[in-house]
Chains A and B, each alone.
Chain A
Amino acid sequence: MQKPPSRRGFLTLAAATGALTALPAFTATAAPRRPTAVPAADTRHQLWWRAPADEHTLIRQGLPVGNGRLGALATNDPGRELLLVTDVTLWTGGLNDTLDADGQFPYGREDFGSLTLLARLTVDLPDHDLSAVTGYRRTLDLAQGVVTTSYVHAGVTYRRQLFASRPDDVIVLHFTQSGGGRHTGTITLAGTHGENGTAESFAGTFPGGLRHGAAIAAHGSGGTVRTTGSHLTFTDCRELTVVLSGGTNYVPDAATRYRDPGLDPRALARTKVRTAARHSAGTLLRTHVADHHALFGRFALSLGTSTAEQRSLDTWERIQARARDGEPDPELEAAYVQFGRYLMIAGSRDSLPLGLQGPWLDGNDPDWMGDYHTDINLQMNYWMADRTGLAPCFDAFTDYCVAQLPSWTDLTRRLFDDPRNRYRNSSGRNAGWTVAISTNPFGGGGWWWHPAGNAWLCNSLFEHYEYTNSRTHLEKIYPLLKGACEFWEARLLTTTLPGTGREVRIADSDWSPEQGPLDAKGITYAQELVWALFGNYRTAARELGRDAGYARAVGALREKLYLPVVSPTTGRLEEWMSPDDLGEPAHRHLSPLVGLFPGDRIRPDGSTPADIVSGATALLTARGMNSFGWANAWRALCWARLKNPDKAYQLVVTNLRPSHDGGNGTAPNLFDIYEAGPGRGIFQIDANLGTPAAVTEMLLYSRPGHLELLPALPDAWAASGSLTGAGARGGFLVDLRWRDGKPTEVRIRSVGGTTTSVGYAGTSRTVRVRPGEAVTLRDLVR
């Protein structure tokens, strides 16, 4: 898994030397590799539908494509192909460094800002009205990263392909036919913010100075393509290719306020589409598929075999049948995991990370700004990356935090002490950095201060190190970890536990996300996260051979941290330092269980006091089994950690249930729908990414030094299955096969790890493997 030496390495070097040199997110790219073949399609990786979307149903039925920066939702309607295009860097708003009267951050679309649409591309073929075609079908090939639409009109079979290429940095629509058909219609490119433009490009500038622009190029064969006023007209074309690019002058550099005034996105987009249009659509396709498949193919999953009846259904019918008939559909369940991976490959590459919706919007104003929520959602988005062989996709998250750090540090220094801020340090000291609950790409925060958010971000970044053993990565994130420790060193309060005389350190006033008292001291959420942070920092300092003295101090502080107890009143792990439940027992967030997942402090393996495990189990039980998609995913992960396959599987299946009338569940396009209000469902990507993490966590548990095979394998998947290329903490990739509920073979490849124990059903053995090499075990069941 050698990563190409690239920008990442360069950035790391720059960061390590303290002089982060910014590269624009939208930038010229080197000529890509041009393969001559496309890997064969595999129907297990194809989702398909018998109906398109329309403009009003894009979020439920539109199919997503993306190249990691540009994303689009498409209708795939024969008569009107509509793409709503998003660039993950196109945000309104800015630094947002004037606090509200309550010492918290403004959270509006003009101050904090919002992710917003870049462009709207329409290709109208008036004769191909949906009511006039037959045999309609569209397919999303998850492995190839291509949407194919086909239908018959007047005896001619028409076929169109849609993909978003990272190597060429364009979105491509390719229209073909067989049987003597022709394409006639119009192509319309438009901004969604009142931009000025021509038929082929437009540009705009937001009040904060962020520039954006987009361009198209089209060419046909056999007919004509010409500009007619504000659109392009194509007439009698046997084939038609439309290429779109666009972007902003965003740069991940606090020193330039995250904008490069010298970059003209429209001009760059025009260059990109002209360059791409010199290649045939087939060449662009092969180039894209090779790039996409290089990531997609790193991981495989089989959860068993579906029936012929199940396979005969289209994806939406299958989702409905799964819920109605109650019969496991192992291939559908595996495809849901692969769909999450598809979204990550399409939405998290060299630019900003995946926020609440990734780059898939159906309007200018996504709920919660489509932002980065640091109290679960951003972290959850990346739980699956390493687990499912997408370690390179994690880098967008890391790069984001690294690029935001100077600004986060500056805001913390200038604003956190504000006397109006109820969360300020009562110690009077202030150091390091923290974040707000919401963050934007301009170094700004939104909504309320979120002191423990820094710890959770750091722990997530550190986990990536545990998976990859990448020293480069550790060097990159080290300043984040150290700054967060400094913040907590200044913030922790000393208190004496009543009745014991024991002196402990507790977090200052904070809000357990997003419920209960607004300012409680020593909330479990903060105690657990900081405990893990201090441990991670100590490891990082040791591995990098830095700051030994400070690391010792942090270690000592960690020993004094208060850790939660089980309430004698409720029998549940306390969320606040109180025996009483001060919130909703069934609240969506599992904040007090961060020590169970994603943390490892609470383990059901005998290493954790039994009362803590049972208190955590009781808390998880009280939280219930039916919440929002992301909350179900988190529950499933926790139950997997508690080795309860039935509950974990039930939650996965609950997320797969069809969403009707805006209710929680899965939309026809497999997007997870979050019921924001009665009848109003919105897309939130975290469940699409968190649920795959849960599936893999049910099959493989890892922490540095220990792997556990099939910790929570449900009956539905027990007959036979396999997992290939799954990341494991400790620096391994694991291939695992099982039959009749028992592992039959495991191959452990080192990406840096050397020693680990491998456990199954209470037995354990130690395995040694050299970096780059692999060990295969077969006699696992004794």
Chain B
Amino acid sequence: MRSPSYPVLPARGLTAAVVLALTAGLTTAVPAAAHTGGPPGPAAKPYMGWSSWSMQSSKYPGLNPDGDYSYLTEANVLKQADALAARLKPYGYTYVNLDSGWWRDKDWKPGFDAHARQQADPVRFPHGMKAVADHLHGLGLKAGIYLPVGLEKEAYGDGKVPLWHADGCTTADIVHGDLRTTNGWDSAYKLDFAKPCTQKYVDSQARMIASWGYDFLKLDGVGPGSFKSGENYDNVADVAAWQKAIAATGRPVHLELSWSLDIGHAADWKKYANGWRVDTDVECYCNTLVSWENSVDDRFTDTPGWTRHAGPGGWNDLDSLDVGNGAMDGLTKAERQTYATLWAVAKSPLYTGDDLTRLDSYGVKLLTNREVIAVDQGDSPPARPVTPSDPQQVWAAKNPDGTRTVALFNLADAPAAVTADFSSLGLTGKASVRDLWNHENLGTYTNTITEALPAHGSRLFTVTPRGGTLTTTGYEAEAAANTLGGRASVTDCSACSGGRKVGDLYTGGSLRFNDVVVDRPGTYLVKVAYISGDPRPVNVSAGSGAATRHTFPSTGDWGTVETVSVPVTLKAGSNTVTFDSGSDYAPDIDRIDVPSSPRQ
């Protein structure tokens, strides 16, 4: 859920928000059962399932007849759960995640128990939240629930609301004296973890959802992130408290963070949580669930910086995978396949937000392709771009068995050919190619594979090397033989080969390698090692040829080196290769590696 959702809601009732606790069952403590490790820990693999928010947030006709976000009801959730269990569970989809609003009425007015904890809206969930979880468990599914970070303003109750099992602590004892606000919507008072009562409040929330039997919590509006920065929006302590609180319940509850988390705090998110949304909502808040532009396509830009942070225990969450019904999704077939391809190779959690009772046949094919699911769920690392972030781009990962997962993407608005050069995968010569979407062995290719992709289209392959090892010649950016232009300068870089790099490539800065020698003329896939804390363009040219502008994907910070391969046309003998910022800011360059032979 993202920021636009709150300002459009009615604000009435804010000052009289103390709600009586009604449910005696809430006080039943769940016996502590310590997690003993052994079989897969939490989030050993990206989770799979369904989430309610896409349908809640859409203006698609008929989804929310009782007002915005009203789709979230017990009846609807169970209907979707039944469909999930029947159609998708065999493929690994098990989580049914209730998103925002389960404690809010149709006018979005929240309800809280006597201890300032969110309480099920009796219209939406007439049997309470535990009943839902029980039903889900009965279907062999897992239950997910949602909370915003902080103490919601309406729960404050003049500071006098007693906390559950907290030795006289009240809501005044857990927030700052100035009632500073926090989260992506400023809808809560920031919790003050310097106060001894505060952890008890989080504990009480955790105990509550654990007691209901939930297996998953999405903690939303978390900062830095959620379009917020600064001290008031730093919720790292909240997240740490949640991890501690969940552990204390003894129930393994997956903790997922939302939204657009600050990559600068990746280490914190990895330490305390099992997944983090790398971007804003994929939903378009329009007449469909999502849209290609400004929704799905942003992920191609925003994911690469996060790639190396994903792994067992915590994953980069690209948000809902709404590919199940073309008309509702608002996407072409090609866009839907591309959407699913990126999610799979990035090893994002795979949770659809579609109406599972209305999947179309193509949607079922996309969601139930076992080879593609295996890319997401298997033991290979997440893929990263091996080319610049040009309209036609290639992402790849080296799998533990030596094969490569290779995704071709055409993000242009027109059909285009996309080529994966084996040298960009560190390979040369022959390789056999399997088409995962089409379950087809395509045969053996030499040095490249090219396919025609529709506008916004994709292909997904497993490439098995059958050739030799690529040999390359390296050239360090900092070498004295190179020519620096503009403000470009050599600086120290502990992550870089040779311990140095060339930086300050901006507004006219340039780096020219003066003596790149090859035996044969042709197009070479030059592997560029670079650092760029955000996606940056650079103009690459060889000799007297015109420059080609490429955007290098983010490396996530200014201390990490990544590589992309760039086609450069070289003559036999000595060549110059130039990286020029033009009028922009370009990445820092560590080195280039030039294959010994050109693209065939």
A-to-B contact residues, CB < 8 Å: 49-54, 56-57, 60-61, 77, 129-136, 151, 154-155, 307, 309, 312, 314, 316, 321, 323-326
Q: Are A53 and B414 within 8 A (Cβ)?
A: yes
Identify the closest chain A residue to B523 (Cβ): A309
Q: Given A154-B440, A321-B569, A324-B548, are A130 and B417 also a contact pair (CB < 8 Å)? A: no
The complex places the Cα of A129 from the Cα of B600 at a distance, in Å, of: 28
Interface residues on B, range: 20 to 34
Residues of A near B334 (CB, < 8 A) are 130-131
Q: Given A56-B413, A131-B333, are A326 and B546 also a contact pair (CB < 8 Å)? A: yes
Residues of B near A314 (CB, < 8 A) are 417
Residues of B near A49 (CB, < 8 A) are 417
Minimum distance in angstroms from B474 CB to a CB of chain A? 24
Minimum distance in angstroms from B562 CB to a CB of chain A? 25
Q: Are A57 and B452 within 8 A (Cβ)?
A: no
The complex places the Cα of A135 from the Cα of B417 at a distance, in Å, of: 10
Identify the closest chain A residue to B454 (Cβ): A130
Q: Are B414 and A56 within 8 A (Cβ)?
A: yes
B536 at the interface (CB under 8 A from A): no
Identify the closest chain B residue to A137 (Cβ): B452
User: Which residues of chain B in 490-525 are interfacial with respect to chain A, using CB atoms and an 8 Å cutoff?
Assistant: 521-523
Q: Are A325 and B414 within 8 A (Cβ)?
A: no
B-to-A contact residues, CB < 8 Å: 333-334, 337, 413-417, 435, 437-438, 440, 442, 450-455, 457-459, 521-523, 544-546, 548, 569, 598, 600
Q: Given A154-B440, A309-B523, A324-B546, are A131 and B453 also a contact pair (CB < 8 Å)? A: yes
Q: A51-B452, A52-B415 are in contact. List 10 more A-B contacts (CB 8 A).
A: A50-B452, A51-B416, A51-B417, A54-B455, A56-B414, A129-B333, A130-B415, A136-B452, A323-B546, A326-B544
Residues of B near A323 (CB, < 8 A) are 546
Residues of A near B438 (CB, < 8 A) are 132
Identify the closest chain A residue to B416 (Cβ): A51
Identify the closest chain A residue to B341 (Cβ): A131
Minimum distance in angstroms from A332 CB to a CB of chain B? 15
Residues of A near B437 (CB, < 8 A) are 131-132
Tell which of A50, A52, A326 has the most Cβ of chain B within 10 Å: A50
Closest 9 CB pairs of A and B: A50-B417, A136-B452, A57-B414, A51-B452, A51-B417, A51-B415, A325-B545, A130-B454, A325-B569
The complex places the Cα of A323 from the Cα of B569 at a distance, in Å, of: 12
Q: List 24 A-B contacts (CB under 8 A).
A: A50-B450, A51-B416, A51-B453, A53-B414, A54-B414, A57-B415, A129-B333, A130-B334, A130-B452, A130-B453, A130-B454, A131-B334, A131-B437, A132-B437, A134-B440, A134-B442, A155-B440, A314-B417, A321-B569, A324-B548, A325-B545, A325-B569, A326-B544, A326-B546
The complex places the Cα of A757 from the Cα of B545 at a distance, in Å, of: 43
Minimum distance in angstroms from B462 CB to a CB of chain A? 14
Minimum distance in angstroms from B390 CB to a CB of chain A? 12
Q: Given A130-B452, A309-B521, are A61 and B458 also a contact pair (CB < 8 Å)? A: no
Residues of B near A61 (CB, < 8 A) are 414-415
Residues of A near B415 (CB, < 8 A) are 51-54, 57, 61, 77, 130
Q: Are A326 and B545 within 8 A (Cβ)?
A: yes
Residues of B near A321 (CB, < 8 A) are 569
The complex places the Cα of A587 from the Cα of B155 at a distance, in Å, of: 71
The complex places the Cα of A52 from the Cα of B334 at a distance, in Å, of: 14
The complex places the Cα of A314 from the Cα of B417 at a distance, in Å, of: 10
Q: Are A60 and B333 within 8 A (Cβ)?
A: no
Q: Is chain A's interface secondary structure helix, strand, loop, or mixed overall?
A: mixed
The complex places the Cα of A134 from the Cα of B337 at a distance, in Å, of: 16
The complex places the Cα of A547 from the Cα of B417 at a distance, in Å, of: 63
Residues of A near B417 (CB, < 8 A) are 49-51, 136, 314, 316
Tell which of B337, B413, B454 has the most Cβ of chain A within 10 Å: B454
The complex places the Cα of A326 from the Cα of B416 at a distance, in Å, of: 23
Tell which of A52, A57, A134, A309 has the most Cβ of chain B within 10 Å: A134
Residues of B near A312 (CB, < 8 A) are 600
The complex places the Cα of A51 from the Cα of B458 at a distance, in Å, of: 13
Question: Contact partner of B454 among A54, A151, A154, CB < 8 A?
Answer: A54
Q: Are B545 and A324 within 8 A (Cβ)?
A: yes
Residues of A near B521 (CB, < 8 A) are 307, 309
Q: Are A52 and B569 within 8 A (Cβ)?
A: no
The complex places the Cα of A316 from the Cα of B523 at a distance, in Å, of: 16
Identify the closest chain A residue to B598 (Cβ): A309
Residues of B near A316 (CB, < 8 A) are 417
The complex places the Cα of A154 from the Cα of B458 at a distance, in Å, of: 18
Q: Are A134 and B454 within 8 A (Cβ)?
A: no
Identify the closest chain B residue to A323 (Cβ): B546
Minimum distance in angstroms from A590 CB to a CB of chain B? 27
Q: Are B451 and A136 within 8 A (Cβ)?
A: yes
Q: Are A131 and B457 within 8 A (Cβ)?
A: yes
Q: Given A57-B413, A131-B337, are A52 and B523 also a contact pair (CB < 8 Å)? A: no
Residues of B near A309 (CB, < 8 A) are 521-523, 598
Residues of A near B435 (CB, < 8 A) are 134
Residues of A near B458 (CB, < 8 A) are 131
Minimum distance in angstroms from A152 CB to a CB of chain B? 8
Q: Given A51-B417, A53-B414, A54-B414, are A131 and B545 also a contact pair (CB < 8 Å)? A: no
Identify the closest chain B residue to A132 (Cβ): B438
Residues of A near B569 (CB, < 8 A) are 321, 324-325
Q: Given A130-B452, A131-B454, are A60 and B546 also a contact pair (CB < 8 Å)? A: no
Minimum distance in angstroms from A340 CB to a CB of chain B? 23
Residues of A near B337 (CB, < 8 A) are 131
The complex places the Cα of A56 from the Cα of B438 at a distance, in Å, of: 26
Residues of A near B453 (CB, < 8 A) are 51, 130-131
Minimum distance in angstroms from B542 CB to a CB of chain A? 8
Identify the closest chain A residue to B546 (Cβ): A324
Tell which of A54, A56, A321 has the most Cβ of chain B within 10 Å: A54
The complex places the Cα of A49 from the Cα of B452 at a distance, in Å, of: 9
Minimum distance in angstroms from B453 CB to a CB of chain A? 7
The complex places the Cα of A208 from the Cα of B415 at a distance, in Å, of: 39
Residues of B near A51 (CB, < 8 A) are 415-417, 452-453
Minimum distance in angstroms from B273 CB to a CB of chain A? 35
Identify the closest chain A residue to B520 (Cβ): A309
Residues of B near A50 (CB, < 8 A) are 417, 450, 452
Identify the closest chain A residue to B336 (Cβ): A131
The complex places the Cα of A715 from the Cα of B452 at a distance, in Å, of: 37
Identify the closest chain A residue to B440 (Cβ): A154
Identify the closest chain B residue to A155 (Cβ): B440
Identify the closest chain A residue to B545 (Cβ): A325
Identify the closest chain A residue to B415 (Cβ): A51
The complex places the Cα of A125 from the Cα of B522 at a distance, in Å, of: 39
Identify the closest chain B residue to A54 (Cβ): B415
Identify the closest chain B residue to A668 (Cβ): B414
Identify the closest chain A residue to B338 (Cβ): A131
Minimum distance in angstroms from B486 CB to a CB of chain A? 23
Minimum distance in angstroms from B419 CB to a CB of chain A? 8
Identify the closest chain B residue to A321 (Cβ): B569
The complex places the Cα of A151 from the Cα of B417 at a distance, in Å, of: 13
Minimum distance in angstroms from B485 CB to a CB of chain A? 20
Identify the closest chain B residue to A312 (Cβ): B600
The complex places the Cα of A29 from the Cα of B481 at a distance, in Å, of: 74
Minimum distance in angstroms from A310 CB to a CB of chain B? 10
Residues of A near B522 (CB, < 8 A) are 309
Minimum distance in angstroms from B518 CB to a CB of chain A? 13
Q: Are B452 and A60 within 8 A (Cβ)?
A: no
Question: Contact partner of B457 among A130, A307, A324, A326, CB < 8 A?
Answer: A130
Residues of B near A134 (CB, < 8 A) are 435, 440, 442, 451
Q: Are A52 and B440 within 8 A (Cβ)?
A: no
Q: Given A129-B333, A325-B569, A326-B544, are A52 and B452 also a contact pair (CB < 8 Å)? A: yes
Minimum distance in angstroms from B580 CB to a CB of chain A? 14
The complex places the Cα of A400 from the Cα of B173 at a distance, in Å, of: 92
